[in-house]
Amino acid sequence: QKEVEQDPGPLSVPEGAIVSLNCTYSNSAFQYFMWYRQYSRKGPELLMYTYSSGNKEDGRFTAQVDKSSKYISLFIRDSQPSDSATYLCAMTLNTGFQKLVFGTGTRLLVSP
Amino acid sequence: KAGVTQTPRYLIKTRGQQVTLSCSPISGHRSVSWYQQTPGQGLQFLFEYFSETQRNKGNFPGRFSGRQFSNSRSEMNVSTLELGDSALYLCASSLKMDTEAFFGQGTRLTVV
């Protein structure tokens, strides 16, 4: 069993929809949680990061962490075709961004 | 400012050969980490360097090695290539070990 589980999708939604992306994990020691976006043939781009449990909002993006359930989510409001990409969750035991453990990614398709 | 630069972008090698990949971090960044991305396993941590010292290492065989130079540029080497080494190899740089990691575009290695 992988340390971090993520539905590979694809997840297809119409433009303007609210998108919910999720990851579950098995190691309760993870402290930092991130979401990356990866376009085809590009490197991952950091969207959001949170420490421990709670919510964090940045524009159309909201990240949620529920450590008691070992579950993290990323919500995208008013989705746009330009949001079509693979979304990767990542987490780490240590401070900050060392030795990230990634989910396999969810492919999101937003149709006009 | 310039991002993380990885060279070459594409490589085709034969089984048994060795390969060296290069990563130039963002100017001023001292931490460089390497990841392997495959369709089946996703992104997996290889190793991290800070100030020319390996600080963290992932679960990869000894055929995978790396180093960092005094100007923070990093190289990774894979010896005795196997078909399963075909992957996208990503480099990420950070100002310090506990700050945001910025990824390069990756080097796509194909082993035939």
Q: Express each pLDDT in B46-66 by its tens digit.
A: 999 999 999 889 999 999 999
Return the closest-CA partner of residue B81 out of B6, B20, B9, B10: B20
Residue range B83-103: average pLDDT? 89
**Res. A111 pLDDT band, cuts 50 70 90:** very high
At A81 the pLDDT is 97
Chain A interface, best mutation among B43, B53, B97, B99, by max A CB count within 10 A: B43
Residue type at B62 in one-letter notation: G
Q: Looking at chain A, which residue has its C-alpha nearest residue B3?
A: A43
Asked if the model's pLDDT at residue B1 lies above 70, the reply is no
In the stretch 10-39 of chain A, residues with CB closer than 8 A to chain B read: 36
Asked if the model's pLDDT at residue A8 lies above 70, the reply is yes
Residue range B10-32: average pLDDT? 96
Q: What is the DSSP string of B52-95?
A: TEEEEE-S--TTEEEEE-TTS-EEEEE-S--GGG-EEEEEEEES
Asked if the model's pLDDT at residue A97 lies above 70, the reply is no
**Res. B22 pLDDT band, cuts 50 70 90:** very high
Cα–Cα distance between A41 and B4 in angstroms, integer? 15
Q: Which residues of B touch A25 (CB under 8 A)?
A: none
Asked if the model's pLDDT at residue A96 lies above 60, the reply is no
Chain B closest-CA separation from residue A77 CA (Å): 24
- Asked if A42 is an interface residue toward chain B (Cβ–Cβ < 8 A), one would say yes
- Asked if A44 is an interface residue toward chain B (Cβ–Cβ < 8 A), one would say yes
Residue range B78-105: average pLDDT? 91
**To the nearest whole percent, how much of chain B has pLDDT over 90?**
83
Residue range A73-86: average pLDDT? 97
Spatial neighbors of A11 by CB under 8 A, at least 6 apart, are A19, A21, A106, A107, A108, A109
Asked if the model's pLDDT at residue B2 lies above 90, the reply is no
**Res. A32 pLDDT band, cuts 50 70 90:** confident
- Asked if A97 is an interface residue toward chain B (Cβ–Cβ < 8 A), one would say yes
Q: Which residues of B touch A101 (CB under 8 A)?
A: 45
Chain A interface, best mutation among B45, B47, B50, B57, by max A CB count within 10 A: B45
Cα–Cα distance between A108 and B32 in angstroms, integer? 29
Residue that the structure tokens 């070992």 belong to: A70
- Asked if B90 is an interface residue toward chain A (Cβ–Cβ < 8 A), one would say yes
Q: Express each pLDDT in A17-26 by its tens digit.
A: 999 999 999 9
Asked if the model's pLDDT at residue A72 lies above 80, the reply is yes
* Residue B84 main-chain phi, psi, to 5 deg: -70, -5
Higher pLDDT, B42 or A87: A87
